[in-house]
Each structure stands twice: as C-alpha cells, then as structure tokens.
Amino acid sequence: MTWLVSRLLAGLVAMLLGGVIGYVVGGPVHAPVLTVLLGGTLTVGALAIVDTLRGVRLIDWLRGAQDTDAPRDAGFWGEIGYRVERSIRARERSTVQEKARLEQFLEAIEASPNGVLMLDVSGQIDWCNSVAASHFGLDPRRDRLQRITNLVRAPAFVAYLQMGNYREPVVFPSPNGLGTLSVLVRDYGEGMKLVLSQDITERERADGMRRDFVANVSHEIRTPLTVLSGFIETMSALPLTEVESRRVLVLMGQQAQRMQTLVSDLLTLAQLEGSPRPAADRWVSVSKLLLQVEGDARTLSQGRHTLTLVSDDAAQIAGAETELLSALTNLANNAVRYTPEGGRIDISWRVLTDGSGEFSVKDTGPGIEREHIPRLTERFYRVDGSRSRDTGGTGLGLSIVKHVAQRHGGELDVQSEPGKGSTFRLIFPAARLRRAAASPRPQGDASDAAVRGATADTR
C-alpha cells in the first residue's frame, strides 16, 4: 500500500506546488485565486500525463510476449507491473510443470506394452501410442483427427464401436495381418473413448497348443484304455482256456505298459518345464552316460543291429544326469526302434574345435522327409504313427530331448534323408563342458578309460 500513500502525497505536493507557483505568478496580475487554481490544475495535469505514459508503457509490455521484465516504474504503475509480471511468471512456471507432467504421462503410456488410443466425441483419433499405431496400422501424426472407423475397417471392431456395449473386449484379426487383437473400449470425459488394444496372438497360440495337448493326451490314453476294458469284458463274459487267458493277460500288460510309458513321459515333460535350469556346477561324466545309453540300446536291439560306440574325449557336462541320460537314451532308442533289422547304429561323442561337445546317433534307418524335420520336436508329432506305437513310442521323446538340450544351453540338430538314414546330434556349449581329468572324478568314472576310443560291436 506504500504506492497509495506516495501517490496521494505526490498529488497533494503537485497541487500545492502548482498553487504556490500560480500565486507567485498571479500576484502581479491581481488574480491570485485564479492563478493558484490554474497552477494546481496544470501540475496535476502534468502528473496525469506522466501517469498515462507509464500506463501505456505497461500496456505495450502486456501486449507483447512478456519475455522481458515489466517496466520498472516507481509507484502505482510499478506496483501493477510487478504484480502482473509475478503472476504471469508463476503461471508460466506452472504451465511448464504441467507440460512436463503431461509429457511424462504420455511417455508412460507410450512405454505400455498395450495399445492406447484416444477418440474424441465424434470418434476421431485424438492421440495414440506407437503400440496402438502398430496394432491398427496407423500413423500417429498423419491419421490424427481421422475417424477411426475410416481407417480400421475390421467388421467386428466397427460393430463393437457402434454397439456401445463395452463390457467385454472384442477379438478380431489384427489389421496388419500378423495376429489377433483383443480390444476393449472405455468411455471417459464427455463422450470421449479410450481404446485399449492387446496383441493376443501368443496367448491364442498357447491356448490352442494347450487344447491340442489335452486332446492328444486324452486320445493317447483312451486307446489303450478301450483295449483294456474290452479285454476285461471278454474275460468276465467268456470262459477262456488257460492259454487264451494268458494271451489276453499279455496283451493287457502291453496296453498297461503303454499307458505307463505315456504317463512317465508326460511327467518328465512337466518336470522339465516346471523346474529351474540344471545347476552349472554339477558335473556328469559323459563316458558313464554313454555306457548306460549303449547298454539300453543294446538291450532294446537284442542283437538285431550293428551298434558302435566311439568317444574321443573323456569329458564332463555340467547339468542334470537324469535329464541328460533321458535325452541321450531317447535318441539311441529311436535309432534302434526305427532302424530295420540288420541296420547300423553309430553312437559317438566328440569335442569340436570350438570347444563344444557333440553327442551323435547315426542310423541307417528309413530316414525322414525334409518337411517333417522342423516338426519332430512337437509333442505327439509322429512321422510314422503306427511304427511309433508298435515300438512303444509316445510321440514325446524328441520333445523331451529338445527341452533337455535347451535347459543345458545346447541344441538338437537333425539331418536325414529318406532311404539314407538319419543323424541326430545334441550339441552342448563349451561353457558346460570340461575335461574329466581336470577334476576329481565322480563315482563310476572308471568307465572313462574303457569308452575312450573304443568301438563296441554289439551285434
């Protein structure tokens, strides 16, 4: 309020000064009252002109961008200028803060794995993040203020938007043709809409796989179960001779065994999928594994094949022994099961020049057509279904092998040509291998020396 006092004082002083001057000047003309009034009026008028000029300066500043300081006048206009400038600066600061917050907010929406698209009251695109742009095949700048239904013409989506009932999401093929989208709309503000999109291609695929898996398992179990219940019915309904009963019991045993193998493979798979990766500090002797694999293969072959085992290095693999044994045995047993009598099976282990280790099973069996090879590791995928079932296969063996390989950082490679046999190779990375001699040997490692460089003909 100091400006008020000083302003009143200045007016008063100006008036007095004008009066005094008027009185002094008006004495000689003998009209002191008139000259006092005239003098006072003139000085107040001069003060008003100065005031107006200051006001004009402030208005000019206000009309501009206010990017310089307000005119620093004393008194009334100075006070107004100072206060207006302070309020403008405070507003500018808060606008900058609001802008920064808005940008942060948009960046957060941009970082969302889901698509976010805002529609105005007339269904025009107001803003969208890049995920939504990619889901709907939009250009966030070019397509701004375009009607969404002019750009996204998927009938299910258009009908959903028009229907106005947004309780459930709508699912439709993505406009970019690469998958499936799930879209949910939420009303907000006054007649505006928030469109949330999610790419559910992977989820749909996983759901499909789960459905197929359940259907496959049910089918695989139902077949032996039907046979078993048939036999049970036969046995209870018909008086069988002892020979016949024994035959039926053998067949029933085979079906029960088939179910047991299937359940055991399913459990192995579930365990592989649900447990953490095998520790990298548990060392398993490759020689020991090879001997077990060879023993199993020989038992299965029963002398019907020429079977050789070659190992050039007494290495150890870091991982889970049971898993590795299961993978290696699966490959060797497949070779025995699919190779006709008289065929040859070569099992080998070698360390490659880059330090990785290769376990290989080569057979002279029927071979596999090229188009089947990428699908061999799918669950229940069989090239020759009847041969697989006749030899006790579940269609899960190579799936298990692939999982074990991946869990040990390795990979499965299949080379095959119809009529020329197959080679299945399991390659383990150098990081998971070490020479057996470099550490105290685990139990049973006496076998290392026996296998190294040995060729066993089991025929």
Asked if 334 touches ligand ADP (CB under 6 A), the answer is yes
As given in the structure block, the two tokens for residue 200 are 């559910």
| Contact stretch for ligand ADP (CB under 6 A) within 5-13, 60-68, 304-312, 386-394 | 386-394
Q: Which is nearer to ligand ADP, 245 or 415 (CB)?
A: 415
Is residue 19 a contact partner of residue 32, using CB atoms and an 8 Å limit? no
Q: Judged by CB under 6 A, which stretch of 102-110, 283-291, 315-323, 364-372 contacts ligand ADP?
A: 364-372
Please list every residue from 313 through 332 that binds ligand ADP, using CB under 6 A. Answer: 330
DSSP state of 190: T
| Comparison of 18 and 366: residue with beta carbon closer to ligand ADP | 366
By beta-carbon proximity to ligand ADP, the closer residue of 285 and 388 is: 388
Give yes or no for residue 338 binding ligand ADP (CB under 6 A): yes
CA 293 to chain centre: 39
Beta bridge partners of 309: 347
Which distant-in-sequence residues (6+ apart) come within 8 Å of 118 by Cβ? 125, 126, 127, 128, 192, 193, 194, 195
301 lines the binding site for ligand ADP (CB under 6 A): no
Nearer residue to ligand ADP within complex by CB, 224 or 366 = 366
283: which strand partners? 318
User: Whose CA is closest to 338, among 367, 369, 297?
Assistant: 367
CA distance to 52, 54, 74, 202, per residue, from 62 (Å) = 15, 12, 18, 59
Measured CA to CA, the distance from residue 137 to residue 178 in angstroms comes to 11
If one asks whether residue 388 binds ligand ADP (CB under 6 A), the answer comes out as: yes
Q: Is 366 near ligand ADP (CB under 6 A)?
A: yes
CB of 394 to ligand ADP, least distance (A): 5
* Choice between 193 and 258, CB closer to ligand ADP: 258
Q: Which of 80, 183, 335, 351 binds ligand ADP (CB under 6 A)?
A: 335
Q: Footprint of ligand ADP on residues 415-444 (CB under 6 A)?
A: 422
The answer to whether 220 contacts ligand ADP (rule: CB under 6 A) is no
Instruction: Say whether residue 382 binds ligand ADP (CB under 6 A).
Output: yes
Q: Which member of 26, 278, 343, 393 binds ligand ADP (CB under 6 A)?
A: 393
Given the complex with ligand ADP, which of 224 and 365 has the nearer CB atom? Answer: 365
365 binds ligand ADP (CB under 6 A): yes
Lookup result for tokens 């007016």: 11
Q: Is the CB of 311 or the CB of 388 nearer to ligand ADP?
A: 388
Residues 121-180 that bind ligand ADP (CB under 6 A): none
Residue 395 contacts ligand ADP per CB under 6 A: yes
Pairwise CA distance, residues 374 & 400, whole Å? 15
- Name every residue whose Cβ is closer than 8 Å to that of residue 305 and which is 6 or more positions away in sequence: 336, 339, 341, 342, 343, 344, 345, 458, 459
Query: Please, what is the end-to-end C-alpha distance for the chain in angstroms?
Result: 115
The residues, ordered by sequence, that sit 6+ positions from 416 with a Cβ below 8 Å of its Cβ are 367, 368, 373, 422, 423
- Site for ligand ADP, rule CB under 6 A: 330, 334-335, 338, 363, 365-366, 368, 376, 381-384, 388, 393-399, 422
